[in-house]
Structure 1
Amino acid sequence: MIHSDATFGGTFPFAPHFTSASGFRMHYVDEGPRDAEVVLCLHGEPTWGYLFRHLIAALSGTCRVVVPDHMGFGKSDTPQDRSYWLQDHIDNLERFVLTLNLNDITLVMHDFGGPLGMGLAARHPDRIRRVISTNGPTPFGQADLIDRVVANAGASPWFRWIAKAEADGSLEQVLGQLGFNILSTLKLNGFENSALITDTWLAAYAAPFAGPADCLGAIGWAKGFAMQMHKFETPDVAAERAVRSKPALAIWGEADRTLRAKHFLPLFTELFPAAPVYRLAGVGHYCLEDAPDEIVALVSEFIRQTQA
C-alpha cells in the first residue's frame, strides 16, 4: 500500500480520505463542492485513482469528483483473507456508495471499472445520472456478452498470457512481482505515448505493489478470468429500463489491444443506441494516459450538455 500522503512529486495532490465500510481501509479522493453533481471514477487493472488525476483537476471546480481505490489497489488495503472476484468488488463499491450516500452519479469507467460500475447501476439505477465509458466495457445482461468476452480473450495478448500463465502455474509468481514488472504489464495492456515513462510515473503505478502480499488485487482479477470466477451482475427489467434511459457517452482508444473496440463497443451501442461514441485513433487501452486533454474536454462538454 502507498503511504496515504504520497503525491508523487505533486502529480497527485489530492487529500486522502478513508472508509472501513466494506471491511477494509478503502482510500478515496473526494474533491469539489459537496452539494454538486457526483462524478464517480472507477479504475481497472492494475491501476488506481492516479489514472484519473487530470479529470479530477479539471472537473472538481464544478463537480464533486469521487475516486475510490478498489480493494488491493492504490492506497487501499490489501486484505489477505478476502477473495478478489468481480462480485466482491461490486459489493465493496455498493457499500462505499451507500455509506457516502452518493446520488446523481456520473459513472466514469475504465477497464474492469466498467463491469463494476454497471454492477452498481444494476443494483441502484436510481442513483445513476449518466454513464461514461472510457475503454471500459458496459455489460448489462446482453445475450452475447460471454461470446464477446471469449472472442476478445482469444485476440488480446493480456488475456492470452493470463490463460497460459494460469495453466503453467506462473501467474501468481509473475504478478506477485508487479512492483518490478509494472512497465511491461502496462505496456502489454497498451499505452501509446512512451513520453509518459518517467521515474515519477513509474513510481506512482509500481508503489501499490511493493511485495507479493500487496499484489492480491491484481492477481485476483487475472486469476478470476482464468478460472471463470467473475460473475457479471444481471439487471432486472426495471433496472435495465431505467439505465437505458440515462445519458451516456463512450470514448474508446482504437489502439486498445486488451479490450478490442469491435468486441466491446457493441455492448455499449446496444444499450445506448442514440449515445455519442468517440473512437480515438492512435490511443491505447490506457486512454486517460494517452489522451487526457481530449477526454477531459469530451467529458466536460457531455456533462454540460446533459445538465437539466
Structure 2
Amino acid sequence: MHLDAFLGMYPYTARFTNAPGFQMHYVDEGPADGEVVLCLHGEPTWGFLFRHLIAALRGTHRVVAPDHMGFGKSETPPSRSYWLQDHIDNLESLVLALDLRDITLVMHDFGGPVGMGLASRYPDRVRRIVSVNGPTPFGQATLGERLTANAAVSPWFQWIVRAESEGRLEAVLGELGFNILSTLKLNGFEDHRLINDVWLQAYGARFATPADCAGAVGWAKGFAIGAHRFETPDSAARRAIGTKPAMAIWGMADRTLHAEHFLPLFSELFPDAPVHWLPGVGHYSFEDAPDAIANRIATFLAQT
C-alpha cells in the first residue's frame, strides 16, 4: 500500500496491535486520560473518514479510530472470514488490549452493528452511543423486514444481491482500487468538490489487488448470502444500554441506508434520544458535513 501521499490529510500516528490475531491499525489521539471516543467506520472506508472529527475532538478527548480487518492500514489475512461477527470479535480484542472504558461509540455504516455488538458484550465499558448514518441493530424482531425494505430501495443493496446471484460480486469489488469512485458515489456523497487525486488515493490505494479487497467483498457478500450475525444482548445488557445517553445524526440524502427504515431501530432502543436530520447530506455524511457533525457531537459530549 502506498498511503504516504495523503498523510497531509491524515496526519495521525499509525499504531498497530496484533491482539485480534492480525495486524490491526488504529490511531489514538488526544490526552491518554481523556474520555474515549471510539470511531467505527464502514464500507469501503477506514479511519480517514473521521479525520475532521479527530481534529475537532483530540484537544479534549482521547479519540481512537481503528481500521477493521481488510480496510485502511489493517492487514487482510487470507485465512479469515469477514462477516459481522468477525469484526465484532476483532473490535473486542482491541478494546480489551487497550483497556478502553467509558467509551463514546461513534458509528458509521456497518460500524453501527459492529459497535452495538461490542455494547452488547460489554455494556459496562460503553458510556454513550452516537449513530451517524450507522444502524443500531440488536437482532430485533423487526430487523429482517427493515433490511429487506431498505434493500428494495437502495441501489447498492440491489446491486449486491444481483451481482452475487450472477457470480460477479467478487470480480467487481475485487477491483476497488480502480472503481472506488463509482462505489463511493453509488452509496452516496453529495459534495463533489471533495474529488481530487489525493482523496481518491486515500480511499482507493488500500485495494490495490483482488486479495486486498477481501474485507470489502466480505461485507457485501455476507449480506447477500445471509452470513452476518447480529449480536443479541441478554435482558440485563439490553436494559443497561437503554439507559445510556444516545444521539442519532442522519444525512437525509443517504440512498443506501434510508432514514425511514433505520432510524426507527435507533428510537426503539433510545426512545428519548435526540435525532438530528441533515438535509442534502449523503451516506458518507462525515465527508459532506464534517463541521456540522463535529459540532453536534462536541455539544453532545459536553451536555452528557
State TM-score, norm by structure 1. Answer: 0.98
- Structure 2 match to 1:91: 89
- For 1:5-53, what per-residue CA distance to the aligned partner results, in whole angstroms no more than 9, with x for missing partners? x260510000000000001000000000111100000000000000000
- Of the three residues 105, 108, 128, the one matched with 1:130 is 128
Query: C-alpha separation between the residues in 2 aligned to 1:153 and 1:232?
Result: 17
Q: Map of 1:144-183 to 2, 5 A cutoff?
A: 144-183=142-181
Find the residue that maps to 2:6 and give its secondary structure. Answer: coil
After TM superposition, give the deviation of residue 154 of structure 1 in Å.
Answer: 1.1
- Kindly report the root-mean-square deviation, in angstroms, between the aligned alpha carbons of the 2 structures: 0.8
- Structure 1 match to 2:268: 270
- Structure 2 match to 1:72: 70
Query: C-alpha separation between the residues in 1 aligned to 2:280 and 2:56?
Result: 23
- Structure 2 match to 1:25: 23
- Structure 1 match to 2:301: 303
- One-letter amino acid matched to 2:183: T
Q: Map of 1:170-249 to 2, 5 A cutoff?
A: 170-249=168-247
- For 1:211-244, what per-residue CA distance to the aligned partner results, in whole angstroms no more than 9, with x for missing partners? 1010000000000001100000001001100000
- For 1:44-71, what per-residue CA distance to the aligned partner results, in whole angstroms no more than 9, with x for missing partners? 0000000000000010000000000000
- Structure 2 match to 1:285: 283
- One-letter amino acid matched to 2:82: Y
Query: C-alpha separation between the residues in 1 aligned to 2:32 and 2:231?
Result: 29
Q: For structure 1, which runs of at least 5 residues remain unmatched after alignment?
A: none
- Contact 1:258–1:285 (CA<8 Å) still a contact in 2? yes
- For 1:71-120, what per-residue CA distance to the aligned partner results, in whole angstroms no more than 9, with x for missing partners? 00000000011000000000000011001000000000000000000000
> Is 1:112 aligned with 2:110?
yes
After TM superposition, give the deviation of residue 143 of structure 1 in Å.
Answer: 1.7
Query: C-alpha separation between the residues in 2 aligned to 1:36 and 1:7?
Result: 30
Query: C-alpha separation between the residues in 1 aligned to 2:208 and 2:266?
Result: 36
- One-letter amino acid matched to 2:275: V
Query: C-alpha separation between the residues in 1 aligned to 2:107 and 2:29?
Result: 18
After TM superposition, give the deviation of residue 132 of structure 1 in Å.
Answer: 0.1
- Structure 2 match to 1:261: 259
Find the residue that maps to 1:203 and give its secondary structure. Answer: helix
Q: For structure 2, which runs of at least 5 residues remain unmatched after alignment?
A: none
Over the matched positions of the two proteins, sequence identity in percent amounts to: 70
- Contact 2:189–2:287 (CA<8 Å) still a contact in 1? yes
- Structure 2 match to 1:34: 32
- Contact 2:5–2:198 (CA<8 Å) still a contact in 1? no
After TM superposition, give the deviation of residue 140 of structure 1 in Å.
Answer: 1.8
Query: C-alpha separation between the residues in 2 aligned to 1:136 and 1:289?
Result: 14
- One-letter amino acid matched to 1:110: H
Find the residue that maps to 1:282 and give its secondary structure. Answer: coil
Find the residue that maps to 2:33 and give its secondary structure. Answer: coil
Residues 139 and 15 of structure 1, relative CA distance in 2, 3 Å threshold: same
Find the residue that maps to 1:133 and give its secondary structure. Answer: strand
After TM superposition, give the deviation of residue 141 of structure 1 in Å.
Answer: 3.4
Query: C-alpha separation between the residues in 2 aligned to 1:288 and 1:68?
Result: 16
- Contact 1:252–1:278 (CA<8 Å) still a contact in 2? yes
- Of the three residues 14, 17, 21, the one matched with 1:16 is 14
